[in-house]
Amino acid sequence: MDTLDTTDSTDTLHHGDAEPAGSEAPRQAPLYLQIAERLARSIRAGTLKRGERMPSVRELARQQQVSQSTAVQAYRWLEDALLIQARPRSGYFVASRPQPLPEPQPSRPGRASRKVQLDELGQQVLRLSAAPDIISFGAACPEPDLFDQERARRALVRMVQRRRDLLCSYQLGSGQEAVRRAVARHAMGMGCELRAEDIVMTNSCLESITLCLKTVAQPGDVVALESPTHFGFLEILASLHLRALEIPTHPRHGISLDALQLALETQPVKALLLVPTLSNPLGSCMPMAERRRLAQMVCEHDVALIEDVIYNDLSEQEDKRRAVKSFDRSGHVMLCGSFSKTLAPGLRLGWVAAGRWAPALSKMQAIQSGAQTAVLELALAELLEQAGGEAALRQLRATLALRVDQARGLIAESFPKGSRITDPSGGYILWVELPGAVDTVQLYEACLAENICIAPGTMFTAGSRFKNCLRLSVGGRWGPEHPQALRRIGAIAQQLVDAAGLSLAA
């Protein structure tokens, strides 16, 4: 092959730069990584086919106008990602993919609601995930380099300079008109028709959800959730003394609406708290027809649906970005979001459109927070309105898709036989089910001894299920040590499987 077609639709958007050679990149990914990611995208897209010969190192260096050592580094990255293979004296070839693992079974939680009691484990995982010496797959926090930090910095500095008056005054109310308008426009992308006055600004998506729950539920009330569910939701429920009712959930299609229907008919459910697009930890996405049915169901049962849309923009399928709220005619859907996963987690701004409960929620928000952080809100409004946001999202989705692909390949290759894994259509969270014998709290402890952090499955339920499951987030810091660490987790899990086999035999 003498020409290397590495162009695709995301190429010109890559890190905001067009070509690695000599161009100015606002977000400076190392050159070898830029080249490797382009090649990886071409392999994923099938432009470079399995078994096909890659250009020689010298050829690649010439084509990309880089040194041979940079070309070698790019090939090493692709080798680690299991995308290419070196054959002695023949060069590099596009690798054949390991046999994909099956997806986990749909969950079958019990039918009773539970008081939520959490141990220290979840907070420990979050704390350790932030430690600099830890190779972390534990927290679902995207790494700062995934975002355009310079764009965020400029917007913030500009706003502080322009509106320093706002720094030295209380700004009462539901948030600056400009940001509420920008959020309403953003929600149009999810099919929602909202007005600026429908939106209340908050400190985060989790704060929006807390406000919704405080508005519609009292201590002791029952809240229905996906199973497994986001650890942060369980913490909120525990802090508000609410009971969790976990509903059977499919790893790809999300919560079972038939099971939910039954629960609504037989139990005193006060609210549903769901992530219909790219749920955490399963990464499931509810089909469109079910979104419509869910909106009808909450209206018929006069129950609040708290819909978390924090990951909608990361969905690779455009139709899955459409919110359940877009089908809501009765105001039973309370829409909650933030830009923590797509723009700038450090801004700490979230929003909520609380439908029929909007006046009560606004009152609750005013009591709880007092005033708003107006300068941050105006900076966010500017960021949301700037051109290039959609391009940055496409780039983010593409980068994350590569990582997920790489991680799934490594897991298929190195985890014990009988493991299962989700195949999310976006985002950066994977849910792995290990053969029944493996206790993932034990796995967590053994990994921690080697400075690797994972999130054991028991964190994601109010009950005691998912003992053999783990969540792996690949959105955090991602260096050459991460693929190695994934292989190591697989090897340790295999040791635990072997040990369990021995103890069964004894």
Q: Residue 22, Cβ neighbours under 10 Å: how many?
A: 7
The answer to whether the beta carbons of residues 236 and 93 sit under 8 Å apart is no
170-190: buried (b, 16+ CB within 10 Å) or exposed (e) per residue? eeebbbbebbbbbbbebbeeb
- Going by the DSSP 8-state scheme, the letter that residue 168 receives in this structure is T
* Pick 350 or 457: Cβ nearer ligand PLP: 350
Please report, as residue ranges, which positions from 323 to 352 form the binding site for ligand PLP (by CB under 6 A).
Answer: 338, 340, 345, 350
Q: Which of 310, 344, 383, 401 lies at the binding interface for ligand PLP (CB under 6 A)?
A: 310
CA-CA-CA-CA torsion sign (353, 207, 126, 305): negative
Q: Residue 8, Cβ neighbours under 10 Å: how many?
A: 15
The distance of closest approach from Cβ of residue 208 to ligand PLP in the complex, given in angstroms and rounded to an integer, is 8
The distance of closest approach from Cβ of residue 283 to ligand PLP in the complex, given in angstroms and rounded to an integer, is 11
* Pick 311 or 415: Cβ nearer ligand PLP: 311
d(CA 188, CA 293): 20
d(CA 41, CA 6): 8
Tell whether residue 422 is a contact of ligand PLP (CB under 6 A): no
* Pick 42 or 373: Cβ nearer ligand PLP: 373
- Going by the DSSP 8-state scheme, the letter that residue 198 receives in this structure is G
Q: Residue 163, Cβ neighbours under 10 Å: how many?
A: 14
The distance of closest approach from Cβ of residue 115 to ligand PLP in the complex, given in angstroms and rounded to an integer, is 22
Output the six-digit token pair for 472. 């792996």
Please report, as residue ranges, which positions from 349 to 368 form the binding site for ligand PLP (by CB under 6 A).
Answer: 350
x-or-dash string of contact with ligand PLP, 195-224, rule CB under 6 A:
---------xxx------------------
Q: How many residues bind ligand PLP (CB under 6 A)?
A: 14
182: part of which helix (H) or strand (E)? helix 177-188
x-or-dash string of contact with ligand PLP, 254-283, rule CB under 6 A:
---------------------x----x---
Please report, as residue ranges, which positions from 224 to 243 form the binding site for ligand PLP (by CB under 6 A).
Answer: 230, 232
Tell whether residue 308 is a contact of ligand PLP (CB under 6 A): yes
* Pick 109 or 283: Cβ nearer ligand PLP: 283
d(CA 13, CA 20): 12
The distance of closest approach from Cβ of residue 451 to ligand PLP in the complex, given in angstroms and rounded to an integer, is 22
DSSP strand pairing (469-473 vs 429-433): antiparallel
For residue 380, which of 352, 353, 342 has the smallest C-alpha distance? 342
Tell whether residue 433 is a contact of ligand PLP (CB under 6 A): no
The distance of closest approach from Cβ of residue 118 to ligand PLP in the complex, given in angstroms and rounded to an integer, is 15
Please report, as residue ranges, which positions from 129 to 168 form the binding site for ligand PLP (by CB under 6 A).
Answer: 140
* Pick 54 or 336: Cβ nearer ligand PLP: 336
The answer to whether the beta carbons of residues 307 and 324 sit under 8 Å apart is yes
Positions that interact with ligand PLP (CB under 6 A) = 140, 204-206, 230, 232, 275, 280, 308, 310, 338, 340, 345, 350
